[in-house]
Amino acid sequence: MLDVLRKVIQSVNDADNLEDALNLIVHQVRSAMKTDVCTIYLRDKASNRLIFRATEGLNAAKVGQFGLGFDEGLVGRVASRGELLNLDAAMSHPSFQLVPGLGEEPFNAFLGAPIIHQREVLGVLVVQQGDSRCFSDAEESFLITVSAQLAGVIAHAEVTGAVSRATAAGGRDAAVMRISGVAASPGIALGTAVLISPTADLQAIPSRQVKDRRGQMRQFRAALARVRDDIEVVAENLREELSPEDHALFGVYLGILDDSTLGGEVGALIKSGEWAQGALSQVMLQHIRHFERMEHSYLRERAVDVRDLGTRVLSYLQDDERQQRAFPVNSILVAEELTASVLGEIPREHLMGVVSLRGSANCHAAILARAMGIPAVMGAADLPFSRMADQDLAIDGYNGAIYINPHETVRRRFQQLAAEDTALSESLLALRDAPCETPDGRRIPLWVNTGVVADMQRGLDHGAEGVGLYRTEIGFLMRDRFPSEEEQRVLYREQLAAFAPAPVTMRTLDIGGDKSLPYFPIQEDNPALGWRGIRVTLDHPEIMLAQVRAMLKANEGLGNLRILLPMITTITEFEEARNLILRCHQELLAEDYSEALPPIGVMIEVPAALYIAAGLAELADFMSVGSNDLTQYLLAVDRNNARVADLYQPFHPAVIAALCSIVEAAHSRGKAVSICGELAGDARAAPMLLAMGFDQLSMNATSVPRIKKILRTVSLAAAQTHLSEVRAARSSEEVLISVNALLDRYDLDRYVRQGAHRPQ
Ligand code: PEP
Ligand code: MG
């Protein structure tokens, strides 16, 4: 069954348009289940009817000619109840409805399964048979499995088909499609889609038609020649080391790229108008698949060689393109998987917005987009990536929506919202030098989270009073090797000097999870629970020692450094890490260094740390709550996974109880505690965090003015009353009701729900 299923899904994925995909499904399911009929009905969103879209076995002339309501016929019953219907005598069922001319009369047995994608019924998949018999359990489960697997594929094919039709019709007004994703960075953007694929990944290259076929051919030939040269050099270097038989393999490699073989196939595709990278990727992937399917293991393994060759050629083509690429003034970056380095590919002044097919609101790339003030939508899994190049896009980072080829009305609405955003942000800049103090006199410093170089200036411009979290790993992510101690010292010095005498909290390297260094890859099945943060650096003291030494040296003559340790789960981890810091400090003191040991803090982001918080508070000089990870681990919800984005609830009563108990533990030992997760920059949370007693809030620079506005308006007394209401709530929804009531009372809702209405 798995084999049949894999084949069905593979061929549907390869189909060019939705009609072909549906026809393939009915054909393959009918033959796999050996039934007389297989039919698909798909819901038409405008009329909310189930349209007869594809069949084998019924009257195909009726395709597209009629539809059923959700309360009509057996198909309507399957769709409205959202469950399987298995009948031995369909026509005697009270819901049966005869559609004249459809040809259902000879078929007694009926099995229908709903096609459901993201809780929404997309349609119904039906098989029918002449014999009067119930379908078996195995047949039922096969149909359910097929329809569950196909739901995503159909949703994707629907959008892809609509985009292709719109492109063929050649107009912005030809279609408007709204694709949902996860709201990841607030703001509105209009612009042109620019596709960025991860470096040299054959699988991630979109198809694109180009006019300059000769130029593309020239680029391809030049890239081929460079790979040939590389291989010849390697072959020559290894001549003495390898047996003549092994050495002959290089000849085979060179042959693969010949005009008479793959090179010729790629050339032919380029001549047909496909760009060089697309042609290369299509040909290579076809051959790789072919090799991978071979019985013989030696031949199967050759797939690796073909992939390696293809990747080398692609990498030269991408180098060329990178050097020549001009970006539209209003670029909207579209990536399958957004990473920090992909974000850096488009010059900031051209980058209006970001869309990623994978990831969710609290993955690190999204945090970076927020810090840079770029509207972003993540987890837009249904976006047809390969068809998106140069499309007109409107993105709504408040609601997590993307509009492809938006109508003029949507465009105007977006322009208006963008103008309101700018006016509001400008009005808040007046607060830059005002203290963050409640009307009844509680002062709470607002600190900033930094990572990329530009964050420093943004933080200062927005009136931040210190750095609560400097994510040092971002400087490591942007390189192709570990930075040396001196390189790190220079980087850290810049941060410390920019904010001195205000405190700068530097976190030791926090890699693993969704932050993998290209030159130190960590491959794990379950990275969030794996080798992360302090676990990595304690296992590699040489990396930690170099980093800490660089921090301490950078602190010379300034004295505003604080060191923060991520992902601490046990007291021992904290002690071991602190011992390494003490060792560095001792060694430096022996070398004519006189700066005092900086405060050493602990991040509370693992539930275990919550329960030993008082013990940690005794040892640490300060604490900082990483609410992003704490929420992920408390709620068992992957922060990167768009599918469970709705369950990632920072206002969950469990998270709120955890935050209160951390503050209590820290204060019971006389230690200050801040919060540096994204919740600290969420305007809805500000009054409640103030009332909990946090000593500082640390957030991305763009959030500072709004949080200041809220806290300068709501008194500590009102925030405390609000917190007791929040603590009595039983769900996130109840917490948010209380939050919204408070914000309404102070007329602050526009700072929070700014743009949160649908621009339709
Ligand atoms: C956190 O987990 O809340 C945090 C601040 O760290 P990061 O987002 O870098 O994991
Ligand atoms: Mg964290």
Give the number of the atom of ligand 1 that is nearest the alpha carbon of residue 533.
10
**Does 676 contact ligand 1 (Cβ within 6 A)?**
yes
Which residues neighbour 234 within 8 Å (Cβ) at sequence distance 6 or greater? 250
469 Cβ inside 6 Å of ligand 1: yes
Q: What is the 3-state secondary structure (H, E, C) of 23-53?
A: HHHHHHHHHHHCCCEEEEEEEECCCCEEEEE
Q: Which residue has the tokens 């007694």?
A: 108
Interstrand relation of 446-450 and 696-699 (parallel, antiparallel or unpaired): parallel
Joined together, the tokens standing for residue 139 give 């047949």
Tokens encoding 420 = 């309101």
8 A C-beta contact, residue 416 and residue 394: no
For the beta sheet containing 392-396, the strands, ordered from the edge strand earlier in sequence to the opposite edge, are 177-180, 401-404, 392-396, 188-195, 331-335, 351-356, 376-378, 182-185
- Substitution site in 471, 535, 648, 679 for ligand 1 pocket (most atoms within 8 Å of beta carbon): 471
Q: Return the DSSP state at 518.
A: T
- Relative orientation angle of helices 18-33 and 2-14, to the nearest 10 degrees: 160
- Strand 672-675, strand 696-699: pairing: parallel
Which ligand is located closest to the Cα atom of residue 363? 1
The rounded percent of the chain whose pLDDT value lies above 70 is 91
Nearest protein Cα to ligand 1, atom 4: 626
Torsion of CA 354, 356, 360, 363, to 10 degrees: -70
- The residues pairing with 190 across neighbouring beta strands, listed in sequence order, are 394
CB 279 within 8 A of CB 220: yes
Task: Kindly report, residue by residue over 526-549, the tens digit of the pLDDT.
Answer: 999 999 999 999 999 999 999 999
The reported pLDDT for the residue numbered 386 is 77
Q: Is the CB of 640 under 6 A from ligand 1?
A: no
User: Using CA positions, which residue lies closest to atom 3 of ligand 1?
Assistant: 626
As a whole number of angstroms, the distance between CA 634 and CA 612 comes to 15
Pocket test for ligand 1, best of 449, 469, 629 (most atoms within 8 A of CB): 629
The residue assigned the tokens 């329809």 is: 147
Residues 180-201 have pLDDT tens digits of 899 999 889 999 999 887 667 7
Site to probe by mutation for ligand 1, drawn from 360, 676, 679, 703 as the one with most ligand atoms within 8 Å of Cβ, is 676
Region of 442 (left: φ > 0; alpha: ψ -120 to 50; beta: rest) is beta
| Closest-CA residue to 449 (of 490, 500, 507, 397) | 507
How many angstroms separate the CA atoms of 482 and 487, rounded?
Answer: 10
- Ligand 1 pocket, 699 CB below 6 A? no
H or E segment and range at residue 499: helix 485-499
Atom index in ligand 1 nearest the CA of residue 625 equals 3
Task: Please give the Cα distance from 613 to 611 (Å, whole number).
Answer: 6
Residue 544, token pair as written in the block: 């930690």
Helices (H), 344-478: 364-371, 408-428, 453-461, 473-477
Pocket test for ligand 1, best of 367, 505, 568, 603 (most atoms within 8 A of CB): 603
Distance CA 589, CA 32 (A): 76
The helix/strand/coil state of 195 is strand
Q: How far is the CA of 677 from the centre of ligand 2 (A)?
A: 7
Residue nearest to atom 8 of ligand 1 (CA): 628
Query: 116 forms bridges with which residues in the sheet?
Result: 121
Nearest CA to ligand 1 atom 1: 626
DSSP H or E stretch at residue 91? none
Q: How many C-beta atoms surround the C-beta of residue 623 within 10 A?
A: 27
612: CA distance to ligand 1 center in Å? 19
Q: Is the CB of 628 under 6 A from ligand 1?
A: yes
Given the CA of residue 626, which atom of ligand 1 is nearest to it? 3
Neighbouring-strand partners of residue 450: 470
Q: How far is the CA of 532 from the centre of ligand 2 (A)?
A: 10
CB of 626 shorter than 6 A to ligand 1? yes
Question: What is the reported pLDDT for 173?
Answer: 45
- CA 702 to centroid of ligand 1, rounded, Å: 17
Q: What is the distance between the alpha carbons of residues 742 and 56, in angstroms, rounded to a whole number?
A: 59
| SS3 of residue 754 by DSSP | coil
- Which of 510, 633, 648, 698 has most ligand 1 atoms within 8 Å of its beta carbon, as the pocket-test mutant? 510
Query: Mind telling me the catalytic residues?
Result: 364, 676
Please choose, from the candidates 759, 673, 746, 735, the residue with its C-alpha nearest in 3D space to the C-alpha of residue 710: 746
DSSP, collapsed to helix, strand or coil, labels residue 132 as: coil
What pLDDT score was predicted for residue 511? 93
Instruction: Report residue 555 as tokens.
Output: 């602190």
Residues ≥6 apart with Cβ < 8 Å to 54: 19, 22, 23, 25, 26, 39, 40, 63
Q: How far is the CA of 505 from the centre of ligand 2 (A)?
A: 14
Atom of ligand 1 nearest to the CA of 677: 3
CA of 449 to the centre of ligand 1 (A): 10
Evaluate whether 459 touches 450 at the Cβ level (below 8 Å).
Answer: yes
627 CA closest ligand 1 atom index: 3
Task: Verify whether ligand 1 is closer than 6 Å to residue 698 (CB atom).
Answer: no
Q: How buried is 592 (Cβ within 10 angstroms: 0-12 exposed, 13-18 middle, 19+ buried)?
A: exposed
Check residue 164 and give its pLDDT: 66
Q: How far apart are CA 325 and CA 320, in angstroms?
A: 8
Q: Check if 627 has its Cβ closer than 6 Å to any atom of ligand 1.
A: yes
Q: What pLDDT sits at residue 453?
A: 80
The residue among 80, 82, 77, 81 whose CA lies nearest residue 110 is: 77
Nearest atom in ligand 1 to 678's CA = 3
Which numbered ligand comes closest to the C-alpha of 514? 1
Q: Atom of ligand 1 at shortest distance to CA of 367?
A: 8
Cα(670) to centroid(ligand 2), Å = 24
Which residue, judged by its Cα, is nearest atom 10 of ligand 1?
629
> What is the distance between the alpha carbons of residues 265 and 280, in angstroms, rounded to a whole number?
9
Cα 172 off chain centre by: 27
Contact 438, 687 (CB under 8 A): no
pLDDT at position 20: 85
| DSSP assignment letter at 531 | S
d(CA 585, CA 548): 9
What is d(CA 165, CA 117) in angstroms, rounded to the nearest whole number? Answer: 23
Distance between start and end Cα atoms, the chain: 44
How far, in Å, is the centroid of ligand 2 from the Cα of 448? 15
Which of 23, 29, 11, 37 has the alpha carbon at shortest distance from 109?
A: 37
Q: Is the CB of 629 under 6 A from ligand 1?
A: yes
How far is residue 322 from each of residues 87, 198, 221, 681, measured CA to CA in Å?
A: 60, 12, 17, 35
Find the DSSP H helices in 200-243: 213-237
Distance separating alpha carbons of residues 132 and 123, to the nearest angstrom: 25
Low-confidence ranges of the chain (pLDDT < 50): 172-174, 755-760
The CA 485 to ligand 1 mean position distance, Å, reads 24
Quote the ligand 2 centre to 511 CA distance (angstroms). 10
Question: Is any ligand 1 atom within 6 A of the Cβ of residue 677?
Answer: yes
Q: Pairing mode, if any, of strands 401-404 and 446-450?
A: unpaired
Distance from residue 523's CA to the centre of ligand 2 (Å): 19
The contacts of residue 69 (CB under 8 Å, 6+ apart) are 48, 49, 50, 76
Atom of ligand 1 nearest to the CA of 364: 8
CB distance 605 to ligand 1 below 6 Å: yes
